[in-house]
Structure 1
Amino acid sequence: MERLSMRIPENAAVILKGLSEAGYEAYVVGGCVRDSLLGREPKDWDITTSARPEQVKAVFAHTIDTGIEHGTVTVMIGKEGYEVTTYRIDGEYEDSRHPKEVQFTSQLLEDLKRRDFTINAMAYNPDRGIVDAFDGIGDLERKIIRCVGVPQERFDEDALRIMRAVRFSAQLGFEIDGPTKEAITEKVQQLENISAERIQMELVKILVSEHPEYMRLACDLGITAVVLPEYDRIRGVSQYTPNHIYDVEEHTLRAMMNIVPDKVLRLTMLMHDFGKPDVKKMVEGGREIFYKHPEVSAAYAEKIMRRLKFDNDTRTKVVRLVKWHGLKYDASEVSVRRALNRVGQDIFEDFIKVQHADIEAKNPAVIPGKLALLAEKEKTYHKVIAEGQCFTVRQLAIGGLDLIRAGIEPGPLLGAVLDKLTEAVIDDQRMNNKEKLLELAEKLKDDPAVFTPKEDFFM
Structure 2
Amino acid sequence: MKIVLPEKVDYIINELIEHGYEAYAVGGCIRDSILGREPEDWDITTSANPQEVKKIFRRTIDTGIIHGTVTVMLEKEGYEVTTYRIDGEYEDNRRPKSVAFTADLVEDLKRRDFTINAMAYNREKGLVDVFGGLSDLQKGIIRCVGSAVERFEEDALRILRAIRFSAQLGFDIEEETLKAVKEKVKNLEAISAERIRVELNKLILSPNPDKLVEAYKAGITKIVLPEFDAMMETEQRNPHHIYSVGIHAIKAVEQVGRDFSSRLKDMDTKEVLPDLEILKTENDLTPKEILVLRWTMLLHDVGKPGSKTTDQGEDHFYGHPEKGAEVSKTILRRLKFDNETIELVTRLIRWHDYRFTLTPQGMRRGINKAGTDIMDLLFEVKIADSLAQSPATWAEKLMNIKEAKRLYQEIKAKNECVNLKNLEVNGKDLILIGLKPGKSMGEILDRLLMQVLEDPSLNNKEALLELAKEYITD
Bin the TM-score by the shorter chain: over 0.9
Match of 1:114 among 111, 124, 128: 111
Q: Aligned pair in 2 of structure 1 residues 243, 443: CA closer, same or farther (>3 Å)?
A: farther
Match of 1:49 among 41, 46, 59: 46
CA distance in 2, matches of 1:64, 1:445: 68
Partner in structure 2 of residue 330 of structure 1: 357
Deviation at 1:349, TM superposition (A): 0.7
Aligned residues with identical type, % of pairs: 52
Q: Higher mean Cα deviation, 402-411 or 126-135?
A: 402-411
Per-residue Cα deviation, 1:250-283 (whole angstroms, up to 9, x for no partner): 1111111111282101100010001001111122
Q: Which amino acid aligns with 2:456?
A: Q
Partner in structure 2 of residue 151 of structure 1: 148
CA distance in 2, matches of 1:89, 1:413: 71
Per-residue Cα deviation, 1:21-65 (whole angstroms, up to 9, x for no partner): 111111000000000000101110000000101111111111111
Partner in structure 1 of residue 16 of structure 2: 19
Q: Which amino acid aligns with 2:469?
A: E
Runs of 4+, deviation exceeding 3 Å: 442-447
CA distance in 1, matches of 2:453, 2:406: 18
CA distance in 1, matches of 2:213, 2:349: 21
Partner in structure 1 of residue 348 of structure 2: 321
Deviation at 1:443, TM superposition (A): 4.0
Where in structure 2 are the equivalents of 1:273-422 lying within 5 Å? 273-283=301-311, 285-422=312-449
Deviation at 1:409, TM superposition (A): 3.2
Deviation at 1:445, TM superposition (A): 4.8
Match of 1:195 among 181, 192, 207: 192
Per-residue Cα deviation, 1:304-338 (whole angstroms, up to 9, x for no partner): 11111001111111111111101110332222222
Q: Aligned pair in 2 of structure 1 residues 56, 396: CA closer, same or farther (>3 Å)?
A: same
CA distance in 2, matches of 1:225, 1:209: 21
CA distance in 2, matches of 1:184, 1:98: 18
CA distance in 2, matches of 1:160, 1:446: 66
Where in structure 2 are the equivalents of 1:66-105 lying within 5 Å? 66-105=63-102
Partner in structure 2 of residue 133 of structure 1: 130
Match of 2:299 among 256, 271, 280: 271
Q: Which amino acid aligns with 2:148?
A: P
Q: Which amino acid aligns with 1:355?
A: K
Partner in structure 2 of residue 427 of structure 1: 454
CA distance in 1, matches of 2:147, 2:198: 25
CA distance in 1, matches of 2:440, 2:66: 61
Deviation at 1:186, TM superposition (A): 1.2
Partner in structure 2 of residue 177 of structure 1: 174
What SS does the corresponding residue of 1:304 show, helix, strand or coil? Answer: helix
Partner in structure 1 of residue 161 of structure 2: 164
The TM-score, its normalising length taken from structure 1, stands at 0.94
What SS does the corresponding residue of 1:278 show, helix, strand or coil? Answer: coil
CA distance in 2, matches of 1:312, 1:208: 20
Q: Higher mean Cα deviation, 272-281 or 398-407?
A: 398-407
Q: Which amino acid aligns with 2:297?
A: M
Deviation at 1:127, TM superposition (A): 0.9
What SS does the corresponding residue of 1:103 show, helix, strand or coil? Answer: strand
CA distance in 1, matches of 2:5, 2:442: 61
CA distance in 2, matches of 1:271, 1:136: 36
Deviation at 1:299, TM superposition (A): 0.3
Deviation at 1:230, TM superposition (A): 0.6
Partner in structure 1 of residue 284 of structure 2: none
Deviation at 1:245, TM superposition (A): 1.7
CA distance in 2, matches of 1:137, 1:419: 66
Q: Aligned pair in 2 of structure 1 residues 101, 78: CA closer, same or farther (>3 Å)?
A: same
Deviation at 1:446, TM superposition (A): 6.7
Q: Aligned pair in 2 of structure 1 residues 345, 50: CA closer, same or farther (>3 Å)?
A: same
CA distance in 1, matches of 2:166, 2:472: 61
What SS does the corresponding residue of 1:355 show, helix, strand or coil? Answer: helix
CA distance in 1, matches of 2:447, 2:329: 29
Match of 1:30 among 16, 27, 30: 27
What SS does the corresponding residue of 2:242 show, helix, strand or coil? Answer: coil
Partner in structure 1 of residue 281 of structure 2: none
Q: Which amino acid aligns with 1:48?
A: T
Per-residue Cα deviation, 1:379-421 (whole angstroms, up to 9, x for no partner): 2222211211110101001011112233333333322322222
CA distance in 2, matches of 1:301, 1:267: 9
Q: Aligned pair in 2 of structure 1 residues 441, 68: CA closer, same or farther (>3 Å)?
A: same
Q: Which amino acid aligns with 2:89?
A: E
CA distance in 2, matches of 1:207, 1:267: 8
RMSD of the TM alignment (CA)? 1.3
Q: Which amino acid aligns with 1:154?
A: R
Q: Aligned pair in 2 of structure 1 residues 387, 138: CA closer, same or farther (>3 Å)?
A: same
CA distance in 1, matches of 2:239, 2:436: 50
Partner in structure 2 of residue 6 of structure 1: 3
Per-residue Cα deviation, 1:207-243 (whole angstroms, up to 9, x for no partner): 0000111110111111111111111111131222221
Structure 1 stretches lacking a partner, 5+ long: 448-459
Where in structure 2 are the equivalents of 1:433-444 lying within 5 Å? 433-444=460-471
CA distance in 2, matches of 1:338, 1:128: 68
CA distance in 1, matches of 2:301, 2:473: 41
